[in-house]
Amino acid sequence: MDIESYFDDFEDRDWQRGAEGTLRLAMVGLGWWTTDRAMPAVAETEHCETTVVVSGTKEKAEGVAEEEELAAGITYEEFQNGEASDAYDAVYICTPNATHLENALAAAEMGKDVLCEKPMEGDVERAEEMVEAFEGVDVQLMVAYRMHTEPSVRRMKELVEEGFIGEPLAVHGHMSQSLLEMIPNPDQWRLNPELAGRGTSVTDLGIYPINTTRFVLDTDPVSVTAQMVSEAEGFEDVPDERATMTIDYDGVTASISASQNMYSTGHLKIIGSEGELTLEPCFGNRTARTLELRRNNIETTTVTPQPNQMLEEFAYFADRVLNDDPVHPDGEHGLHDMRTLEAVYDAAETGERQDI
């Protein structure tokens, strides 16, 4: 890589093909992530527009629709019955994990492209059903791994591909936050396995280092061992207040940890035969990044601005859908993570290595 273009092109949308028109979006699920992160990003995205919002109660949906001057605010039931479907082209699903499926199925049936939050669903079977629903239809399913369009992650991946660190050999990754400080309610869905999947720290946070390692190395996990502990108040129903995983990415071993009850931080480090790349802080949406490059005895630290992950993600989604080009990460990609999550929880439960 030319060092001048490393600087000049760092934030370039190297994936962009150029689109015409506007992708009109129904935002399904009106939690804080949708209202505070996704909708403001869509508003800034050139070829995207929120036209419909969908929530559990008519009042909430209509309130947001009125405030944002949208075409419609409807309930999940109305959405699934096809109401206001002329007013949007594609759907962003950001409901509790174990309720993604019914909304994705409805969208597929209505011929709407879907951007579905991660993890795809609460269990593997429902994720498989989702993938099947998009086979043989004319619309696409993308899973919202926002690290794939983050500039610093893309540069990290390029450096690995170019051999900057030689052969990748080891990974360290971590993501944590203080969930009950962020959302001081022990009854929230992220702590309820019926809505979140088998746990919370791995499904909601661990999936970031797990998936980003896949993306950067272009290799999938093949087996996993894991340990979990839940002891704090509020974490009675989930096994993974804190989780530690050792994941074999087909010869590259990753040491990954995650917690919903820890200082809010994250990092991703790839060590190879000839060098080392570290992105830190990582995964979160709200801080500047440093990408550290080490090779020989030389170290550089690239400081990059706070990324607008959701804007980049919606811009990518619109670019592909408006061009009728394949999206990535697609449902099949997300399904492999669902199988990995399942293996992580099984490994922690049994104390034994699980193949994926």
Q: Does 253 bind a second copy (CB under 8 A)?
A: yes
Which of residues 34, 35, 103, 225 is near a second copy by CB under 8 A? 225
Q: Does 259 bind a second copy (CB under 8 A)?
A: yes
Q: Does 330 bind a second copy (CB under 8 A)?
A: no
Dihedral, CA of residue 344, residue 347, residue 349 and residue 351, to nearest 10: -150
90 CB-near residues (< 8 Å, 6+ apart):
23, 24, 25, 26, 112, 113, 114, 115, 139, 317, 321
Binding-site size for a second copy (CB under 8 A) equals 40
Task: Describe the chain by its helix, strand, coil percentages, rounded to 5.
Answer: 40, 30, 35
CB 310 to a second copy: min, Å: 20
With CA atoms as reference, report the closest residue to 150 among 334, 315, 6, 300.
Answer: 315
Stretch that binds a second copy, among 50-58, 182-190, 269-277, 333-341 (CB under 8 A): 269-277
With CA atoms as reference, report the closest residue to 241 among 222, 254, 220, 227.
Answer: 227
- Which residue, 21 or 184, is less far from a second copy as judged by CB? 184
Which of residues 219, 265, 285, 302 is near a second copy by CB under 8 A? 265
Q: Does 346 bind a second copy (CB under 8 A)?
A: no
- What is the rounded CA–CA span in Å between residue 314 and residue 42? 7
Q: Does 246 bind a second copy (CB under 8 A)?
A: yes
Q: Does 263 bind a second copy (CB under 8 A)?
A: yes
As to burial, measured by CB atoms within 10 angstroms (0-12 exposed, 13-18 middle, 19+ buried), residue 236 is exposed
With CA atoms as reference, report the closest residue to 190 among 260, 286, 242, 100.
Answer: 260
Contact between 104 and 131 under an 8 Å Cβ cutoff? The reply is: no
Which of residues 31, 122, 199, 272 is near a second copy by CB under 8 A? 272
Q: Does 305 bind a second copy (CB under 8 A)?
A: no
- Which residue, 243 or 310, is less far from a second copy as judged by CB? 243
Dihedral, CA of residue 306, residue 191, residue 141 and residue 72, to nearest 10: -80
CB 347 to a second copy: min, Å: 10
- Which residue, 116 or 228, is less far from a second copy as judged by CB? 228
With CA atoms as reference, report the closest residue to 44 among 310, 302, 252.
Answer: 310
Which of residues 87, 124, 183, 229 is near a second copy by CB under 8 A? 229
- What is the rounded CA–CA span in Å between residue 113 and residue 107? 7
Judged by CB under 8 A, the chain residues 143 through 202 that form the site for a second copy are 165-166, 169-170, 172, 174, 176, 178
- What is the rounded CA–CA span in Å between residue 202 and residue 91? 25
- Which residue, 3 or 303, is less far from a second copy as judged by CB? 303
- Which residue, 149 or 261, is less far from a second copy as judged by CB? 261
Instruction: Give the tokens for residue 64.
Output: 């947001």
- Which residue, 85 or 257, is less far from a second copy as judged by CB? 257
- What is the rounded CA–CA span in Å between residue 7 and residue 12? 10
Stretch that binds a second copy, among 79-87, 102-110, 125-133, 271-279 (CB under 8 A): 271-279
Stretch that binds a second copy, among 23-31, 97-105, 145-153, 270-278 (CB under 8 A): 270-278
Residues near a second copy (CB under 8 A) are: 165-166, 169-170, 172, 174, 176, 178, 225, 227, 229, 242, 244, 246, 248, 251, 253, 255-257, 259, 261-263, 265, 267, 269, 271-276, 287, 294-295, 297, 351-353
